[in-house]
């Protein structure tokens, strides 16, 4: 059996499966580096989100491998050998699964080098997340084997892969719940969240039992298939009755605040601490600009560090910012414009007021405040040059009046402030 496996790994579908999985994973990592850069949990999570593509490829590879006997018309020849008829099928599945996994892991090794340069937190359950994803790929290739052996068509492999992709895509858009755990595709919860260990174990049991069931069906072993089917059904029950995917607890160590020691306070979760210096360079100038102004924030913090149940839109003296989509594989921030929008969000408290506050002159006042905060040059209809011509104490007094009017929902005063004296 070892010799046959070696032959399959070198000459069968396996080499192509390894190359395709390597290329697909490299592509997925490259186009969405902001989802995984700098975070081990983010890397494992992104692999599971990529299962939408990777599972479909493994289904197609398994189907192509299993249909080889029919394409080459060697079924009768294999039946004349003393080996069990299911053995070549099992070896072929094993070769494709090993090769596909190898292609995935080689691509991940390169990403791991980049993550290791930046990561500031290596804890959590990301190993489990990645391991269960590998089991899902082996289950996908087993599904492909069933299709390849039962459907006598050359186009069975690409059609099976496309069907798997569409099926998983539809399931991905279903409302999050307990049944989400039956899918290999990660729904994309926060990287600072913890999946219960029992849920990982139940997922692993489900994928192993399902793979055994599919292989038994492909080998036409009825009693084995019934036994594996019962095991798979039994593993579903604790999954669908367990905790839903939308109510996951935060990892206390991952969200531990890490703050600057000099200048205005800027804090991030430990898992995002590799971005602290870059964030301080964006947030601290804003905080210094408004230091001491009544109603202005005095600190900035990562939303991941907010206490459970705390609203990050409250006027609590903190600029709350999100780091979703901000990481870069080589370090640094991806979207400075998003952070600037978070930094000046406290200037738009008036939008929460009742009544008609959509007067264009109110928006002009807001644009004026934003331009002053970021020290922008004069542009358009924003008379920032008139505001900057005032002594600095009067400029700061103007912003204090603006913030007070916004909190009081005083539209008339906001309109007056838009006309800088």
**Would you tell me the crossing angle of helices 126-150 and 197-218 to the nearest 10 degrees?**
20
Amino acid 104: pLDDT: 96
User: Cα–Cα distance between 29 and 295 in angstroms, integer?
Assistant: 43
Per the confidence metrics, is the pTM higher than 0.95?
no
Q: What average pLDDT does this structure show over 184-197?
A: 80
Range in 36-45, 72-81, 211-220 the model is least confident about: 72-81
Residue 86 has pLDDT above 70, yes or no: no
What band does 356 get if pLDDT is binned at 50, 70 and 90? low
- 268 in Cβ contact with 342 (< 8 Å): no
Residue 1 has pLDDT above 80, yes or no: no
For residues 179 and 301, which has the higher predicted lDDT (pLDDT)?
A: 301
What band does 288 get if pLDDT is binned at 50, 70 and 90? very high
Q: What average pLDDT does this structure show over 287-293?
A: 91
Residue 380 has pLDDT above 70, yes or no: no
Amino acid 352: pLDDT: 65
What band does 77 get if pLDDT is binned at 50, 70 and 90? very low
Residue 359 has pLDDT above 50, yes or no: yes
For residues 332 and 139, which has the higher predicted lDDT (pLDDT)?
A: 139
Residue 291 has pLDDT above 80, yes or no: yes
Range in 4-13, 38-47, 159-168, 207-216 the model is least confident about: 4-13
Can you give the chain as a three-state secondary structure string? Answer: CHHHHHHHHHHCCHHHHHHHHHHHHHHHHHHCHHHCCCCHHHHHHHHHHCHHHHHHHHHHHHHHHHCHHHHHCCHHHHHCCCCCCHHHHHHHHHHHHHHHHHHHHHHHHHHHHHHHHHCCCCCCCHHHHHHHHHHHHHHHHHHHHHHHHHCCCCCHHHHHHHHHHHHHHHHHCCCCCHHHHHCCCCCCCCCCECCCHHHHHHHHHHHHHHHHHHHHHHCCCHHHHHHHHHHHHHHHHHHHCCCCCCCCCECCCCCCEEECCCCCEEEEEHHHHHHHHHHHHHHHHHHHHCCCCCCCCCEEEEHHHCCCCCCCCCCCCEEEECCCCCECCCCCECCHHHHHHHHCHHHHHHHHCCCCCCCHHHHHHHHHHHHHHCCCCCECCECHHHHHCCCHHHHHHHHHHHHHHHHCCCHHHHHHHHCCC
Residue 400 has pLDDT above 50, yes or no: yes
Token digits for 279? Answer: 């964030």
Mean pLDDT computed over every residue of the chain: 86
Amino acid 421: pLDDT: 67
Amino acid 69: pLDDT: 66
Q: What average pLDDT does this structure show over 255-271?
A: 93
Which residues are CB-neighbours of 293 under 8 A, at least 6 positions away?
396, 399, 400, 403
Amino acid 332: pLDDT: 87
Q: Give 149's Cβ-side CA count (13 Å radius).
A: 23
Amino acid 84: pLDDT: 65
Residue 79 has pLDDT above 60, yes or no: no
User: C-alpha 361: how far from its chain's center?
Assistant: 40
Token digits for 293? Answer: 């102004």
What band does 5 get if pLDDT is binned at 50, 70 and 90? confident
What band does 244 get if pLDDT is binned at 50, 70 and 90? confident
Instruction: For 20-76, write each residue's pLDDT tens digit.
Output: 999 999 999 999 888 899 999 999 999 999 999 999 999 999 999 888 766 555 554
Amino acid 314: pLDDT: 61
Q: What average pLDDT does this structure show over 216-245?
A: 86
What band does 378 get if pLDDT is binned at 50, 70 and 90? low
Residue 382 has pLDDT above 80, yes or no: no
Percentage of the chain surpassing pLDDT 70? 88
Token digits for 242? Answer: 């367990």
Q: What average pLDDT does this structure show over 1-11?
A: 74
Q: What average pLDDT does this structure show over 271-296?
A: 92
Range in 262-271, 287-296, 379-388 the model is least confident about: 379-388
Amino acid 188: pLDDT: 66
Range in 56-70, 200-214, 252-266 the model is least confident about: 56-70
- 139 in Cβ contact with 211 (< 8 Å): yes
Q: What average pLDDT does this structure show over 80-103?
A: 83
Phi, psi of 359 (to 5 degrees): -60, 135
């Amino acid at each position: 059996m070892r010799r046959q496996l070696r032959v399959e790994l070198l000459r069968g579908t396996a080499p192509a499966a390894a190359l395709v999985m390597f290329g697909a994973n490299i592509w997925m990592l490259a186009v969405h580096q902001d989802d995984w850069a700098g975070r081990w949990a983010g890397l494992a999570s992104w692999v599971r989100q990529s299962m939408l593509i990777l599972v479909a490829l493994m289904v197609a590879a398994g189907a192509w491998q299993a249909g080889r006997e029919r394409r080459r018309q060697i079924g009768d020849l294999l039946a004349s050998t003393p080996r069990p008829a299911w053995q070549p099928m099992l070896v072929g599945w094993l070769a494709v699964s090993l090769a596909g996994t190898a292609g995935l892991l080689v691509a991940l090794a390169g990403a791991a080098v980049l993550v290791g340069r930046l990561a500031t937190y290596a804890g959590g359950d990301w190993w489990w997340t990645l391991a269960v994803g590998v089991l899902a790929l082996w289950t996908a290739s087993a599904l492909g084997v069933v299709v390849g052996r039962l459907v006598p068509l050359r186009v069975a492999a690409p059609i099976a892969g496309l069907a798997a992709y569409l099926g998983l895509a539809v399931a991905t858009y279903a409302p999050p719940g307990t049944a989400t755990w039956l899918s290999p595709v990660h729904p994309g919860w926060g990287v600072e969240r913890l999946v219960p260990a029992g849920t990982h174990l139940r997922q692993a049991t489900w994928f192993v039992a399902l793979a055994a069931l599919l292989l038994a069906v492909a080998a036409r072993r009825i009693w084995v298939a019934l036994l594996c089917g019962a095991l798979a059904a039994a593993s579903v029950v604790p999954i669908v009755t367990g905790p839903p995917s939308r109510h996951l607890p935060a990892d206390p160590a991952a969200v531990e605040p890490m703050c600057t020691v000099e200048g205005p306070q800027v804090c991030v979760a430990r898992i995002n601490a590799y971005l602290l210096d870059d964030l301080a360079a964006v947030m601290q100038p804003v905080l210094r600009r408004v230091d001491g102004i009544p109603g202005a924030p005095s600190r900035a913090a990562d939303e991941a560090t907010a206490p459970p149940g705390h609203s990050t839109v409250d006027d609590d003296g903190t600029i709350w910012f999100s780091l979703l989509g901000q990481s870069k594989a080589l370090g640094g921030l991806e979207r400075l414009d998003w952070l600037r929008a978070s930094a000046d969000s406290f200037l738009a408290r008036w939008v929460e007021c009742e009544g008609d506050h959509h007067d264009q002159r109110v928006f002009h006042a807001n644009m004026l405040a934003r331009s002053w905060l970021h020290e922008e040059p004069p542009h358009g209809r924003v008379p920032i040059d008139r505001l900057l011509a005032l002594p600095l104490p009067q400029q700061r007094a103007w912003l204090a009046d603006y913030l007070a009017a916004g909190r009081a929902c005083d539209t008339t005063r906001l309109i007056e402030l838009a006309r800088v004296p």
